[in-house]
Amino acid sequence: MHPKALLDACAELVAQALTFEHPADAVVSRYFREHRNLGPRERGTLAETVYTVLRKKTLFESLARSGSGARERRLAILGFAGPRSFVKSALSDQEVQWLDDCDAIAPASLMPQHRHNLPEWLVEPLQAQVGEQFEQLAASMLETAPLDLRANALLIKRSELQKELKEAGIKAEPTPYSPWGLRVADKPALSRLEAFVKGRVEVQDEGSQLLALLLDAKRGEMVTDFCAGAGGKTLAIGATMRSTGRLYAFDVSAHRLEALKPRLARSGLSNVHPAAIAHERDERVKRLAGKMDRVLVDAPCSGLGTLRRNPDLKWRQSPKAIEELTAKQTAILASSARMVKSGGRLVYATCSILPAENEAIAKAFAAAHPDFVPMDAGELLAGLKVEHAASLCSGGDSGSLYLRLWPHLHQTDGFFAAVWQRK
């Protein structure tokens, strides 16, 4: 594709993404469906350009003021995800000079908001939590996430999968914490691999794998994944149960559960029962009251722990949206807790890094439900042979009450989990 045409396409896609009417990945997918003539390399450049602009929007908008031409074109030039020489061949002499001037600015001389590229309302709660590590955290959230894979323990050992991927030309390293995980630096096409087609491997962030591990579901148990979505954790839990017992995958979105079906078919699991529910007080939920050995509530949340993958979320969320989410989280946790039998385990989790969605919800639940006794996540993970388990946790007297994962410390998405046992 000619450089000028590719830059024009980037500008068009940037303009669509910056309306924030839809998630960025949906905008990109739709654009690719409408432009089927694009090759894989062009698609890669287009997607990465959009994500770079979303990551560094505050900085780029400031730099764009000194340029000329349409705003989205200037942003696309600054964020262009390809060789500078390539994009410069599509620019006027004046634009080349402007781009050189922008590229020459030393990061250390930038104003804080142009370094961290976070909306103002997010800065304070994050600084309050991580203190001097704030710059490090902000920088980590501007990076692209690696690709984490999970070996399906029902069908293959991690070491065997690593060998199989190597034979297919994919270099994968074991994840430091999850016993099932492999980390891949680039973005190989997995869907054609035999290991993928036969269900031996799934794409899943290491943090998400640790949530499934923390539930520690056993053979023959009755288990519910309460907000199953497309089922990444459901599949991991089913494998720990060795495909025995019953595993309910509930979600209010039938559409999301549909996405689970092909993954389920590949996985070799026969104990998973997906079911769409109307709301957290659905009749199906009531019928299972007091019957579950384990319940995982991976609650709907802001997703702000996934900014490396979904940088648009920081611009699409707001304090008001967080307030609405916390009300929903409180209701879902209280309702799903009714399903847990005496002696059973409840895990509340989010992929958020905000205390309002995490510790605040967990503390309020514990205060309102004295029959649920908090369990130490660090101790549980150490018992499951997770290395450096205490370093993955925070809170409580021992400092390891909650699982608390951070991109800058653990190279995972940002995750939180609290665990209780019903008396």
CB atoms within 10 A of CB 284: 13
How do residues 104-152 score in pLDDT, each as one tens digit? Answer: 999 999 999 999 999 999 999 999 999 999 999 999 999 999 999 999 9
pLDDT at 184: 96
Of the pLDDT bands very low, low, confident and very high (cuts 50, 70, 90), residue 96 is very high
Please provide the DSSP assignment of 154-209 as one string. Answer: TT--HHHHHHHHHHTT--EEE-SS-TTEEEESS----TTSHHHHTTSEEE--HHHH
- Length of the chain, please? 423
Q: Which two tokens stand for residue 144?
A: 């692209």
pLDDT at 398 over 90: no
Total H helices, total E strands in the chain: 21, 13
Of the candidates 359, 351, 356, 357, the one whose C-alpha atom is nearest the C-alpha of residue 306 is 351
CA distance linking residue 41 with residue 63, whole number of Å: 27
Q: Give the three-class secondary structure for 218.
A: coil
Q: Which two tokens stand for residue 273?
A: 């029962």
Amino acid at 124: E
Of the pLDDT bands very low, low, confident and very high (cuts 50, 70, 90), residue 361 is very high
Which residue numbers are catalytic?
351
Is residue 233 within 8 A of residue 260, CB to CB? The reply is no
pLDDT at 185: 84
How do residues 214-251 score in pLDDT, each as one tens digit? Answer: 999 999 999 999 999 999 999 999 999 999 999 999 99
Of the pLDDT bands very low, low, confident and very high (cuts 50, 70, 90), residue 187 is confident
Q: Going by DSSP bridges, is the β-strand pair 246-251/222-225 parallel, antiparallel, or unpaired?
A: parallel
pLDDT at 189 over 90: no
Q: Going by DSSP bridges, is the β-strand pair 172-174/181-184 parallel, antiparallel, or unpaired?
A: antiparallel
Q: Average pLDDT of the chain?
A: 97
Where are the extended beta strands (E) located within 200-254?
201-203, 222-225, 246-251
Locus of tokens 């390293």: 173
Q: Which two tokens stand for residue 335?
A: 């309702």
pLDDT at 186: 86
pLDDT at 73: 98
CA distance linking residue 405 with residue 417, whole number of Å: 9
Q: Which residues of 378-393 are buried (b: 16+ CB within 10 A; e: fewer)?
A: bbbbbeeebeebbebb
Q: Tell me the mean pLDDT in the region 333-341.
A: 98
Amino acid at 363: K
What percent of the chain has pLDDT above 70?
100
Between the alpha carbon of residue 264 and those of residues 199, 231, 241, 412, the distances in Å are 8, 8, 14, 25
CA distance linking residue 271 with residue 248, whole number of Å: 8
How do residues 25-65 score in pLDDT, each as one tens digit? Answer: 999 999 999 999 999 999 999 999 999 999 999 999 999 99
CA distance linking residue 223 with residue 232, whole number of Å: 15
